[in-house]
Amino acid sequence: MDIMKAYIILSIALFLIGFLGVIVRKNLITILVSTELMLNGINLALVAADKVLGRVDGQIFAFFVLTVAAAEVAVGLGLVISIFRLKGYEASHEISQLRD
């Protein structure tokens, strides 16, 4: 099997595992981790395509995706901790009660 196909298959697997984690899980921290897994799958696909094409555009986009992922973790984890301290909620379906 070609190395590019192996990278793409691994990238798709990472993305699908992350997507299923976002859809199935109710814990907010697990949803954040699953989102990170999806972004890592995208990064792997970008870098693999970049390796085959012999350019650096994919690596630059992967760097920006990592920057956005770091910001998402910082803001998301801060919000989760604040919601848990304020209301004691741990699951995502309970957040709709914050409107009250």
Confidence (pLDDT) at 82:
81
* All residues at 6 or more sequence positions from 75 whose CB lies less than 8 Å from its CB, including other chains: none
Question: 23-79, pLDDT tens digit by residue?
Answer: 998 888 888 899 999 999 999 998 988 888 888 888 888 889 889 888 988 888 888
* CATH code that applies to domain 3-99: 1.10.287.3510
Exposed, middle or buried, 95 (CB in 10 Å: 0-12/13-18/19+)?
middle
At 91, is the pLDDT very low, low, confident or very high (cuts 50, 70, 90)? low
More confident position, 82 or 15:
15
Are the CB atoms for 41 and 62 separated by under 8 Å?
no
**What are the structural domain ranges in the chain?**
3-99
Cα-based torsion angle of the residue sequence 45, 30, 20, 89 in order, rounded to the nearest 10 degrees: -140
